[in-house]
Amino acid sequence: MSVSLTDRSDAELAGLALAGQESAYGELMRRHRDGVFRLARGHVGDATEALDITQEAFISAFAALARYDGGRPFRLWIARIAINKCHDWARRRAVRRFFTFARPIEEAGAVADAGPTPEEVVQSRAELERIDAAIAALPVNLRDVLLLRAIEEMSQAETAQILGISEKAVETRLYRARNKLAERLRDDDAARV
């Protein structure tokens, strides 16, 4: 009797995927895509961009699957890849922003964003999107810890392992992240009144 893919461990699925069984990698993606998407959305504050980052993370993970250590949780491995993709996205965005503002003032009309004003965006967004934006505005070191611990509900040890920091640093950063997030949301509420 053969064991179905849903009954196999992540390490077994990775091995099957490396052996050429595409459906095994599909099962790994099904298991972990929601968590990767939430992590990316929390980082970038935009669902469309988060979907692109999620796809990039799984493509990169597949390309690097031979380097996956089956003794470690796949969830931690793919989360680290997703965080790296989020950092890449932020760097690309910063470069685009730099070059946008580096143009001569005469070209400002062609460069200006024709989308809704920031005020219109804030007014039209639901509370969840407001919180996503506040999270995305946190410094990267605080945002990573907050997303892994509070959103993905990873343990302090798992978070420390993914980020390559001590468990005490995770605890400290989580405390700071929660305080900064609460402060940002309070300031946002005060500005709306």
Please report, for the domain that includes residue 137, its CATH number: 1.10.10.10
Report if residue 3 sits inside a domain.
no
Give the pLDDT confidence of 83-102 residue by residue, as tens digits. Answer: 999 988 888 777 666 555 55
Residues 109 and 123 occupy one common structural domain: no
Residues 63 and 127 occupy one common structural domain: no
Q: Which residue, among 116, 120, 118, 147, has the nearest Cα to 131 in the 3D structure?
A: 147
Report if residue 89 sits inside a domain.
yes
Residues 108 and 136 occupy one common structural domain: no
Residues 187 and 96 occupy one common structural domain: no
Q: Among positive and negative, which fits the CA dihedral 70, 73, 79, 84?
A: negative
Please report, for the domain that includes residue 19, its CATH number: 1.10.1740.10
DSSP state of 7: G
The pLDDT assigned to 130 comes to: 74
Whether pLDDT at 37 is above 90: yes
Chosen domain end from 78, 113, 148: 113
Residues 45 and 81 occupy one common structural domain: yes
* Of 12-21, 68-77, 111-120, minimum mean pLDDT range: 111-120
The pLDDT assigned to 121 comes to: 45
Counting the structural domains of the chain, the total is 2
Residues 12 and 96 occupy one common structural domain: yes
Instruction: Please state the rounded mean pLDDT for residues 118-128.
Output: 56
Report if residue 2 sits inside a domain.
no
Residues 70 and 134 occupy one common structural domain: no
Q: Is 27 exposed, middle or buried (0-12, 13-18, 19+ CB in 10 A)?
A: buried
Query: What domain range is 101 assigned to?
Result: 8-113
**Is the pLDDT higher at 3 or at 117?**
3
Residues 71 and 103 occupy one common structural domain: yes
Chosen domain end from 94, 113, 132: 113
b/e string for 54-93 if b means 16 or more Cβ within 10 A?
bbbbbebbbeebeebeeeebbbebbbbbbbebbeebeeee
Residues 162 and 90 occupy one common structural domain: no
- pTM for the full model? 0.60
Report if residue 1 sits inside a domain.
no
Chosen domain end from 65, 87, 113: 113
Residues 108 and 16 occupy one common structural domain: yes
